[in-house]
Amino acid sequence: MSIALALGLALSPVLALQSVTLVDGPKPDANGLAAEYGSGVCRISVFGKDADGEKIRAEFARRLRDGNLSVSLYGPFIQQFQDADPEENFPVTVAFDTGSSAPSRSGGYDVGGFRESVWGGWGPGEASDATYAALRGASSFSVSMDGNTYGPFTWTGTGAVWAALDDCETENS
């Protein structure tokens, strides 16, 4: 076998992947939300655009065993943070259209892996419960972290993100 043929066979799977379109995340329903459940966690995604007009996704996740609430942001904007220290704490603040806001206990950049994101978490207990309750009256929110703001993320129906998380919890408890 020639070197060229061997090299061509070795590269063919890589070249074939260049023509595959990878889909990132769930697709929104008529309200603009996408629900997922797995490993004891309910996830509700809301979609928006970043400052460059690129599609981004915000995902609220609630762990059923203890109520821990977190938010993650996914999109091409994360590429600018490839050199961020994933061990450094960068809490986020979620600002709701109701005028309330919720600073997270922890947060940061999840870079260098398969699903890169910006994330923030409130931890089990009072802070998660208060942020979860704030979702009940909201119809949009923005997320700020490390001098950057993302959103607004909007959907149809006041409290729809809270209702979707509540429905998921009821169905999977």
Sequence-distant (≥ 6) Cβ neighbours of residue 132 within 8 angstroms: 62, 67, 69, 162, 165
Q: Would you say residue 173 has pLDDT above 60?
A: yes
Whole-angstrom distance, CA of residue 66 vs CA of residue 51: 35
State the burial class of residue 141 (Cβ atoms within 10 Å of its Cβ: 0-12, 13-18, 19+). buried
- Name the pLDDT band for 24 (thresholds 50, 70, 90): low
Q: Write out pLDDT tens, residues 67-95.
A: 999 999 999 988 889 888 889 999 999 99
What percent of the chain has a predicted confidence (pLDDT) above 90?
Answer: 65
Q: Would you say residue 117 has pLDDT above 50?
A: yes
Whole-angstrom distance, CA of residue 122 vs CA of residue 104: 5
Q: Would you say residue 18 has pLDDT above 80?
A: no
> What does the pLDDT read at residue 80?
87
> How high is the mean pLDDT of the chain?
85
Sequence-distant (≥ 6) Cβ neighbours of residue 93 within 8 angstroms: 101, 102, 103, 104, 120, 143, 144, 145
Q: For tokens 């999109």, name the residue.
A: 75
- Name the pLDDT band for 7 (thresholds 50, 70, 90): very low
Inter-helix orientation angle 160-172/126-135, to 10°: 120
pTM (predicted TM-score):
0.81
More confident residue, 111 or 43: 43
